[in-house]
Structure 1
Amino acid sequence: MDRMTDDLLAALRCDPEIPAPDLVAVDAADRLLLDEAAPALADAGPGTVVVVGDRYGAVTLGAVHRFGLAGVRAHTDRLTGELALAENAERVGGAEAFRSLDALDPELVAGARVVLLLLPRSLDALDEVAGLVARHADPAVVVVASGREKHMSRAMNDVLARHLGEVRASRGRQKARVLHAAGPLPGDGAASPWPVTERHDDLGLTVRAHGAAFAGARVDIGTRFLVEHLADAAPDAAHAVDLGCGTGVLASALAAARPEIEVVATDESAAAVASARATVAANGLADRVRVQRARGTAGIADASADLVLLNPPFHVGAAVHDGVARELFAEAARVLRPGGELWCVWNSGLGYRPALQAAVGPTRQVARNPKFTITASRRV
């Protein structure tokens, strides 16, 4: 890697990410990806390069500056990553050379000759991306995909090989490795299977999910536990928020059970938002559930909700960290009107009750099973 690119990468930041141990804006997988993709990028024409999964902008901006690219299309599932890319571009330059696209859809990859991919941990997420590329990119497309070796598996090669006929692995470097893939398979001209659909008769819901959505079309056990107790959650509520909505199960269950309630469902994951919209539509609830991509409760007015539902994540990137949950508790407190309640389900070992009480208000235990606790925190 040349000195100019090294200096540029050193200037990148993770903002607005929540600080976490070992959090860095650039890692070995980013650097190796740029090096391994160099021959393809050197010959890439305007508008033919796509970057998927860039965490904070290292790959997009590194490629733009090192190879003088223009018309790059970028998609990052997490809104935090998309915002970090934009902020870093303002800091180091290059904002005019790329555009971020929210949706993982044909527009993202149409006509692409080079796709740079930061490998997702989920094989379903990789399958959706690889299938999209095979169906809609240029037939001569090459995919250069990188990851940390500890997060990679042979199954990733197999997933890529379902859609692209040539798959090979590079030599590792600094505990990172790259997979090269090319040759879209003819059979991939069929319609995309995503989002997948699963009917849950016990909940009276149909769930639809894209590859990167947490739990897929299943219903995770924490969410299911909270659904079982929704009948008691602020029974007079007229306005509710499903915070960190995932596939939209809580929002859909609440709206289906209470025809008088309006729900805003929000998540920073593009896959979650697309999944939640599909779930809401599948259950005939689009007139009363609005789904939006946002960090926390951005775009929701102060003191406007009677009820907030939350099954908080406990990771920042790959690190186990309670910073996300604590930030969401504060976000819930902001949008709750006095007397409104935050109903939260959490792994009992995390011991969130004091944090909930401090951020929102008096907190009581609603239910507990061997793994999870449900609490109701009243805004004062």
Structure 2
Amino acid sequence: MDFPYSRLRRWPDVEADNLQAHDATDLLLVERALALDVAGREIAVIGDEYGAITLALTDAGLDGLRVHQDLATGRRALDRNADELGLVGFSGHELDATLLDGARLVLVQLPKALAELEEIADAVARWAAADAVLVAGGRVKHMTIAQNEVLGRSFSHVQAQRAERKSRLVVASDPRTVPEKPPFPVTERHDGLVLVAHGGAFAGPKLDIGTRVLLEVLGLGDPQLRKNATGSVEKAPNRPDAARSSGVVDGEQPSPAPVVVDLGCGTGALAASYALAHPDSRVIATDRSAAAVASARATMAANGVDDRVVVMHDDAGSELADASADVVLLNPPFHLGSSVHTGAATRLFEAAARILRPGGELFTVYNSSLGYRAELTRLVGATEQLERTPKFTVTRSIRR
């Protein structure tokens, strides 16, 4: 086949000379699928980052493919690339029975997290056809024996293939009988805060170190900030008051309650903690990961604040209006997939600058070695350091 992979774009994800919209693993998965000669309606594709697998197979004449992409950026890139190439005949799904029911071949770009792979493997064994074959692929340098072991929990036969073009396929077949209860989501308690996580959510049900530092700086990690039995809230001394501003909803109409955005919310630790500590605030949690969004919604329900926190699957707050927020809380990633790249953080800084009203506050925690303060000042406004530990720095930026 002669599919025009070079025409694919990553947009709206970060684009750079060293970042591509396809790799050799995509090509191997496509070649294997075509060699197996399975009907398109019996194929499910999981983790197709920008649509290379789905569109190449569709271009080859396979109709009715079902695809699950965790990232909102990937979903938008797939749609954009499909429009550019004039390709139709596939459908997007969440990681559920609608994706996998009757599927005989499941193609998977191996995720970085073993927990995410475990949830995927269980879902395939749980909902796909009884004779389903899972073909997973990845770059050799990122593959481990542990991935085979995870697949072996859900499939009786797991066989690694010979490496080609620095990529390798692993074929899993003969699905095992699954337990009555799926392995995810999982729940963990942290001093009054409950976190719920699906396999693909960063840090799982743990409270990651950076988030913990930001919570402490904001006073949200202190017991006296939790609602007490009478419903009152006490502010810890010597902490910044991140909810002091009056709210703005759409850039024009005033709101009686501050609008606080947890940008890149993950499992929702910041949003839930803020909602518990400031019951008069309007809190929005947004993340580009579907696994994170499902986790955050479950976290809000577990903490009893789901009626006061809106959780959105979105790319860098793109569905939030300009000048619509009083406060943004941000713990930005410093990886794009398996690559270390600051572009993801820059996009979130730009998003925060756009959605904050003038005078609004951005609270950011980041790895101290990255030195984002100058960039935050340039993109958002005057930035001061609130805390610095050996690993993390917390800053407050005032939107100019």
How high is the TM-score relative to the length of structure 1? Answer: 0.94
Using the alignment, how far apart are the partners of 1:163 and 1:302 within structure 2? 46
Residue 81 of structure 1, CA deviation: 1.2
Residue of 214, 229, 241 corresponding to 2:202: 214
**Equivalent residue letter for 2:212:** R
SS at match of 1:284: coil
Give the stretch that moved more between structures: 346-355 or 230-239. 230-239
The number of residue pairs the alignment matches comes to 368
Residue of 240, 244, 255 corresponding to 1:236: 244
Matching residue of 1:373:
393
Matching residue of 2:44:
50
Residue 37 of structure 1, CA deviation: 2.6
- Give CA deviations for 1:178-236 in whole Å, capped at 9, x if unaligned: 011111112x05221211101112xx101000111110000110000001122324232
Matching residue of 1:149:
140
For 1:161-172, list aligned pairs within 5 A: 161-172=152-163
Residue 169 of structure 1, CA deviation: 1.2
SS at match of 1:343: strand
Matching residue of 1:9:
5
2:219 paired with 1:227:
no
Matching residue of 2:227:
none
Residue of 60, 72, 91 corresponding to 2:84: 91
Residue of 356, 367, 370 corresponding to 1:350: 370
Using the alignment, how far apart are the partners of 2:160 and 2:57 within structure 1? 21
Using the alignment, how far apart are the partners of 2:217 and 2:96 within structure 1? 36
- Give CA deviations for 1:289-325 in whole Å, capped at 9, x if unaligned: 1000111111212212111000011122222111111
SS at match of 2:194: strand
- Give CA deviations for 1:215-273 in whole Å, capped at 9, x if unaligned: 00001100000011223242324110000001100000110111111100001011111
Matching residue of 1:59:
53
Using the alignment, how far apart are the partners of 1:189 and 1:37 within structure 2? 29
SS at match of 1:229: helix
Matching residue of 2:234:
none
Using the alignment, how far apart are the partners of 2:99 and 2:241 within structure 1? 41
Residue of 104, 124, 140 corresponding to 1:113: 104
Query: Residue 210 of structure 2 contacts residue 365 of structure 2 at CA under 8 Å; is this kept in 1?
Result: yes
Residue 285 of structure 1, CA deviation: 0.4
Using the alignment, how far apart are the partners of 1:37 and 1:166 within structure 2? 19
**Equivalent residue letter for 1:72:** L
Matching residue of 2:255:
none
2:333 paired with 1:341:
no
**Equivalent residue letter for 1:39:** A
Using the alignment, how far apart are the partners of 1:52 and 1:185 within structure 2? 20
Residue of 180, 199, 212 corresponding to 2:189: 199
Give the stretch that moved more between structures: 126-135 or 81-90. 81-90
Matching residue of 2:114:
123
SS at match of 1:47: helix
How high is the TM-score relative to the length of structure 2? Answer: 0.89
Shift >4 Å, 4+ stretches:
none
Using the alignment, how far apart are the partners of 1:82 and 1:65 within structure 2? 18
**Equivalent residue letter for 1:163:** S
SS at match of 1:211: coil
SS at match of 1:140: coil
SS at match of 2:11: coil
SS at match of 1:147: strand
Matching residue of 1:100:
92
Using the alignment, how far apart are the partners of 1:177 and 1:321 within structure 2? 24
Residue 287 of structure 1, CA deviation: 1.0
Query: Residue 271 of structure 2 contacts residue 309 of structure 2 at CA under 8 Å; is this kept in 1?
Result: yes
SS at match of 2:312: strand
The sequence identity of aligned pairs, in percent, is 51
Residue 79 of structure 1, CA deviation: 1.2
Query: Residue 364 of structure 1 contacts residue 377 of structure 1 at CA under 8 Å; is this kept in 2?
Result: yes
2:298 paired with 1:278:
yes
**Equivalent residue letter for 1:255:** A
Using the alignment, how far apart are the partners of 2:383 and 2:142 within structure 1? 38
Using the alignment, how far apart are the partners of 2:384 and 2:160 within structure 1? 53
Residue 21 of structure 1, CA deviation: 4.7
Using the alignment, how far apart are the partners of 2:392 and 2:125 within structure 1? 41
Residue 11 of structure 1, CA deviation: 2.4
Using the alignment, how far apart are the partners of 1:319 and 1:39 within structure 2? 31
**Equivalent residue letter for 1:129:** I
Matching residue of 2:31:
35
SS at match of 1:124: helix
Query: Residue 20 of structure 1 contacts residue 316 of structure 1 at CA under 8 Å; is this kept in 2?
Result: no
Query: Residue 168 of structure 1 contacts residue 180 of structure 1 at CA under 8 Å; is this kept in 2?
Result: yes
SS at match of 1:17: coil
SS at match of 1:16: coil
